[in-house]
Amino acid sequence: MTEFELIRRYFSRPAPSAALGVGDDCTLLRPALDMQLAVSTDMLVEGRHFLPGTDPRRLGHKSLAVNLSDLAAMGADARWALLALALPAADETWVAAFAEGFYALAARHGVELVGGDTTRGPLCISITVMGQVPPGLAMQRDGARVGDDIWVSGTLGDAALGLTHLQGRVALPEQAARHCVDKLESPQPRLELGGRLRGLASSAIDVSDGLVGDLGHILAASGVGAQLEFDRLPRSPALLSCSDTGLAEQCLLAGGDDYEVLFTAAPAGRGALDTLAAELGLPLTRIGTIVAGQLPARVIRADGSEAVVSHGGFDHFAS
């Protein structure tokens, strides 16, 4: 099968909102005139971002999900995606499953695939997403203010725990293992939450590299510090069931791949955020406070001692 047949068969579903979709030199889009365009790219490389042999359907889902997560953390509404694929072979079964996972998630969030590139090479997936946000309402990393609450959606550490399970470094009970591997391979971008946080959150980031590390980006951009309450960090039953409590703690503080939204908000927003959590059926947990002085986040246990991250979050060039 040629490159063009592959594109035509698997990546050319209609994109009704575009003036011109897949098939020409460029796609032609109609961005809403009164909106800002939010654009982001994320690349997933086999062996670095996902394990060789990962189920292609799940990979199609995840590679779009991690990109949509960036739009969610910005408070943007998702519109379009571009997909650049390097494939070791034109394996139709693999491509069909990948496309299925990709389009299923795209459809759920009203995202249209409008273009891309396809080439032979070591398996690598690079996606560009575009969304729109009302001017002035994007949730940037530099908006945290002293006295703001720090909040996070969902639970933390599950995906990292799922990875250590797949690597054979920990043995989780079966149900916990399934939950954690699902979180790792099938993260849900928090787009609905992101949209509803516009005007409520003062800053936001999605947790892709670990809580403490990603919070550090907000602190650096905003010129502030943070104190987190260790006991308040949201833990799933699966994480609590892990017998290696040291490992579970590190996953909680610094595990990557959660794709939850970490955000700050003035204390006046507490009531609205609790209502929003109930409405979305998604836990929103207040985990700490922004403090003065540009310092790394401190995580304090109930007895006053500090919980320490044994490595500084995930950095692709650190090891």
Residues forming contacts to ligand ADP in the complex (CB under 6 A) are 7, 11, 22-25, 83, 85, 113, 115-118
CB of 117 to ligand ADP, least distance (A): 5
Residue 234 interface partner, choices Mg ion, ligand ADP, none, CB cut-off 5-8 Å depending on type: none
Q: Is residue 92 close enough to count as binding Mg ion by CB under 5 A?
A: no
Candidates 11, 41, 260, 204; CA nearest to 129 is 41
Residue at token pair 């947790």: 207
CB of 103 to ligand ADP, least distance (A): 11
C-alpha dist (Å) from residue 121 to 27, 84, 293: 24, 12, 47
How many C-beta atoms lie closer than 10 Å to residue 19's C-beta? 10
Query: Measured from the CB atom, is 29 or 85 closer to Mg ion?
Result: 85
Question: For residue 78, how far is the Cα from the chain centroid?
Answer: 14
Q: Is residue 117 close enough to count as binding Mg ion by CB under 5 A?
A: yes
CB of 106 to ligand ADP, least distance (A): 11
- Among 117-125, 208-216, 264-272, 291-299, which window interacts with Mg ion (CB under 5 A)? 117-125
Query: Measured from the CB atom, is 22 or 72 closer to Mg ion?
Result: 22
Q: Which residues lie closer than 8 Å to 277 by C-beta, 6 or more apart?
A: 283, 284
Residue 11 interface partner, choices ligand ADP, Mg ion, none, CB cut-off 5-8 Å depending on type: ligand ADP
Residue at token pair 């079964």: 93
Residue 25 interface partner, choices ligand ADP, Mg ion, none, CB cut-off 5-8 Å depending on type: ligand ADP
CB of 88 to ligand ADP, least distance (A): 15
Residue 204 interface partner, choices Mg ion, ligand ADP, none, CB cut-off 5-8 Å depending on type: none
Residue 210 interface partner, choices Mg ion, ligand ADP, none, CB cut-off 5-8 Å depending on type: none
Query: Measured from the CB atom, is 117 or 231 closer to Mg ion?
Result: 117
Residue 85 interface partner, choices Mg ion, ligand ADP, none, CB cut-off 5-8 Å depending on type: ligand ADP
How many C-beta atoms lie closer than 10 Å to residue 309's C-beta? 18
CB of 117 to Mg ion, least distance (A): 4
Query: Hey, is 117 helix, strand or coil?
Result: strand
Under DSSP, the state recorded for 52 is T
Exposed/middle/buried for residue 84 (C-beta within 10 Å: 0-12, 13-18, 19+):
middle
Q: What strands lie across the sheet with 284-291, from one edge to the other? A: 201-206, 261-265, 149-153, 284-291, 225-229, 298-300, 306-307
Residues in 262-291 at the binding interface with Mg ion, rule: CB under 5 A = none
Query: Measured from the CB atom, is 6 or 254 closer to Mg ion?
Result: 6
First-to-final CA distance of the chain: 39
Residues that bind Mg ion (CB under 5 A): 117
